[in-house]
Amino acid sequence: MKPPGLAALVLALVCLGPPAAPAAPVATVEQPRSFGHLLGDVLSQRVRLPDGHDVDAAALPLDRVGLYLERRALRVERDDAGGRWLVIEYQVVNSPRTLLAASLPALTLATAAGPLQVPTWPVSIGPMTSRATFDQGALQALQPDRAAVPVPDDGPRRRLTASLAALAALLAAWGGWWAARNLYEARRLPFARAWRELRRTEADSAEAWRVLHRALNTSAGHVVHGGTLPRLLAESPQLSPLAPQLEAFFRQSELRFFAGTTGAAGPAPSLHALARALRDVERRHQR
């Protein structure tokens, strides 16, 4: 017969069952500041990885953690002593209306040497602005629009004035040059001088015919008459379109000055029209 004490001990061991598995060790963690966080802040949690506890950083999903936090990055770093740390970054992605407490979640990290426990860590998250205003002086809920800084226009105005003045001076100089050039040509070019004189002379007077003769002689550099007209046209081909008018002019001139008659060889050309046409051809040719 077994002693009563031994039987009771065996019965107690049977009731207790097999021994419980040992709990996973808690990792050494450097936690972020637990207070004063706002929207956009990044919280870094550093987990010490003992030798042999290799962890796959990609195994932990990057996703939303509750309403206010999001896991955004994981990486393994080494400190100056060669120790390895798993850095887990969380970012505040929402702003509460009032100060509240949130938590970095507890994690179980699967490593080659067994799991590591990362405990939860409470943090406080504050609102971006207060819901109530002081309602004193300029501390109102709605603020007036900020007055725009006036842009000084003295510089652009001065530059515009200077540009317009320069443009006016340029146009005046160009107009003066054009007028002086026309005046110079009117005094230098033979047909231009003839046109000026004919405008002051009676249209069908003998002097008007002599004026046009002198202009033709000066332009050709020799005396021009009906017999030498082809030479003039060969030396000055720009006058070829006016050959019929010039031929008529010389025919009428010979009749007027040598035969003492007018109109026998056909109607006399308009001296003014011929002089103006010769002046225009001369001006185009000079330019």
Mean pLDDT across the chain: 83
Identify whether 166 is part of a domain: no
Q: Are residues 189 and 280 in the same domain?
A: yes
The answer to which of 3-7, 10-14, 103-107, 128-132 has the lowest mean pLDDT is 10-14
Identify whether 151 is part of a domain: no
HEC assignment per residue over 139-178: ECCCCCCCCCCCCCCHHHHHHHHHHHHHHHHHHHHHHHHH
Which of these three, 94, 125, 156, is where a domain ends? 125
Q: Are residues 116 and 192 in the same domain?
A: no
Identify whether 132 is part of a domain: no
Q: What is the mean pLDDT of residues 119-125?
A: 96
- Write the pLDDT tens digit of every residue in 14-40: 445 455 445 678 889 999 999 999 999
Which of these three, 125, 149, 167, is where a domain ends? 125
- Write the pLDDT tens digit of every residue in 229-275: 899 889 889 988 988 999 999 898 888 887 765 554 445 568 888 88
CA 176 to chain centre: 40
Amino acid in position 208: A
- Write the pLDDT tens digit of every residue in 200-225: 888 778 888 988 899 899 888 898 88
Identify whether 179 is part of a domain: no
Q: Give pLDDT, residue 2.
A: 46
Query: 193-225 burial by CB neighbour count: b if 16+ within 10 A, else e?
Result: bbbebbeebeeeeeebbebbbebbeebbeeebe
Which of these three, 74, 104, 125, is where a domain ends? 125
Q: Give pLDDT, residue 10.
A: 40
- Phi and psi at 55, nearest 5°, equal -130, 145
Identify whether 149 is part of a domain: no
Identify whether 9 is part of a domain: no
Q: Are residues 115 and 203 in the same domain?
A: no
pLDDT at 180 over 60: yes
Q: 57 and 76 in contact (C-beta within 8 Å)?
A: yes
- pLDDT band for position 107 (cuts 50, 70, 90): very high
The tally of domains found in the chain comes to: 2
Amino acid in position 125: I
Domain that holds residue 251: 184-286
Identify whether 57 is part of a domain: yes
Query: What's the predicted TM-score (pTM) here?
Result: 0.43
Identify whether 219 is part of a domain: yes
Q: Are residues 119 and 47 in the same domain?
A: yes
pLDDT at 64 over 60: yes
